[in-house]
Amino acid sequence: MKVYDAASIRNVALVGHSTSGKTQLASAILSDSGMVNRFGKVDEGTTVTDYDEEEIAR
């Protein structure tokens, strides 16, 4: 895992109602930036951002 200094870290919050596209937006941002090479599917539980068992179950 790459180590970043605190001055280079930016936090972003995606806020919205259920099924408003937050996960898809996050996946698109990560994909466009080159941070990930795949686009997961919410229905299949394969998204990069939903990695906790509880999140996948929802």
Give pLDDT tens digits for 1-49: 788 899 999 999 999 998 898 888 988 888 888 888 877 777 777 788 8
Q: Which residue has the tokens 């180590």?
A: 3
Give the residue numbers spanning the domain of 29: 6-57
Q: How many domains does the chain have?
A: 1
Q: Give the pair of three-digit tokens for residue 43.
A: 């229905």
Does 16 or 51 have the greater pLDDT score? Answer: 16
- Does 31 map to a domain? yes
- Does 47 map to a domain? yes
- Does 21 map to a domain? yes
pLDDT confidence tier of residue 57, bands split at 50, 70 and 90: low
pLDDT at 18: 85
Q: Residue 58 pLDDT more than 90?
A: no
pTM of the model: 0.67
- Does 51 map to a domain? yes
Q: Which residues contact 4 (CB under 8 A, 6 or more apart)?
A: none
Count CA atoms closer than 13 A to 34's CA, side-chain side.
0
- Does 1 map to a domain? no
Question: How far, in whole angstroms, is CA 22 from its chain's centroid?
Answer: 8
